[in-house]
Structure 1
Amino acid sequence: MEPTRPSDGHPGTPSSGQPPYGGAPQQPGQQYGGQPQQPGQPPNPGPQFGGQPPYPGQAPYPGQAPYAGMPPVQGMPHGPQYPGQPQKTSTPAILSLVFGIVGAILISVILGIVALSKISTTGQKGKGLAIAGLAVSGLWLVGLVVGIAVFGDGEPDRDASGQVTTTQNTRADKLRVGDCVSEIKEAAEVRNLELVPCDQPNGGKVFAVFDLPAGKWPGLTAVQTAAEKGCVDRWAATGKQLDDASDIIYLHPIENGWSLGDRGTTCLVTPK
């Protein structure tokens, strides 16, 4: 065994200059958990809750509550902030533009007014669409007025007896029995005809006008067959003899007009 030198002082007492059990050497003026205390200064209370106090003029650490004497930050909203929900486009505004484009003037104007009224209170988008719908409807209305002023409504001018006294243009569906036309050209669709007084040279005279039976579009061949038979039967019913220099022609509906309710057939005697 190796001899051991006994410690200075009483047994169990650490020698001078050695740290106490489980601790660091204690210097004069130093307290556990605090800053060194200078002679003549009050004891340092040690670290505060949440971290070390800032030095004079230094801001607290992020997330640290302000110390006494520091004014709280003003004007910061509480809780998380989220962007507002995007506004939807007004449905009446969209429909106003659509109906304005297709020429449904009345519906477009009503929807446009409704859209502008709601947009002003709800804050929805679509104000430009509603205004555009109203503008397009206005253009349709102006065009309609100009068309009527220039071309008329298609109804020919007649005297008290219903006879045409001047040459004028009209639609085929405005022809009456006894009307005379200047000329009829074969075409896929006859829109306008020139009416002339029957006491002048003409290209044909109307002797019958009738409607084909209502129903679904039966096909072009069926319509032509029914229109031809109807005209021939009606001419035979007049008891007149068709001379060799004349012929019977007929104007019949087409599929587009049929879908809009046109069933009218016009029969004429024309020179060959």
Structure 2
Amino acid sequence: MDPTPPPPNPEQPQSGGNPPGPYQAAAGGPPPPGGGYPPPPGGYPPPPGEYSGYQPYTGRNDLPAPGSGGTNTPAIIGFILSIFGIVLISIVLCIVALSQIPKRGQRGKGLAIAGLVISGLWVVLGGLLVIGLIASYSEPDRDASGQVTTTVKTKPDKLKVGDCITGIEEGTVRDIKVQPCDQPNGGKVFAVFELPAGEWPGLAAVQAAAEKGCTDRFKALKQTPDKPSDVFFLHPIENGWTLGDRTATCLLVPE
């Protein structure tokens, strides 16, 4: 007798074929993005090239508003000092002011610039005065024979034998005017010589040596003046002596 096989179990697949029994399908919405997987928490990020939720960075401005800090003090002081010609201090203060004003939001830039301009004018004026003084004490113009051709102010150490001067007075002589000898003059140089070198011997000793040297040289000339005259002599003072000046100049000056 053939055994009777048990009825097939509909929940167990049979070998050699598809599992029996129907499958139930349920209708639903469109498939979720991503191939059937649910979206991540919070949604999907925006597409490349798009930004969401960020504000553009505009930078930070820490500078105070112009003029909010009042007028800069160095600018005021520098401008005032420039008017009175105190240029070294005024220039420094004005430069400091120009550096401080934009950082502190102060006024006074115009004062600082004006102070620099005025200080510059003082510097130019001072330079012109120095040049003028140097020019005024320059070597006198001379002709081929060495005679002075124009009246000019010069230093005593520029005088040479035969030069004529406009005049001279006792005391300290810092400059002297020479002129052509064919004009009425106030004296004429007849000798120039050097005093002995060495340490400053004192004013009295220098005066005595210069006077003796001039007197001896005038006697050696054996000349008689056309009119009453006195012998004058120029000698260095201590400041000039320390700088190497040893020159004594002898002049015959009408009374």
TM-score, length of structure 1 as denominator length: 0.45
Q: Taking CA–CA contacts closer than 8 Å with sequence separation of 6 or more, which of the two structures ends up with the larger relative contact order?
A: 2
TM-score, length of structure 2 as denominator length: 0.48
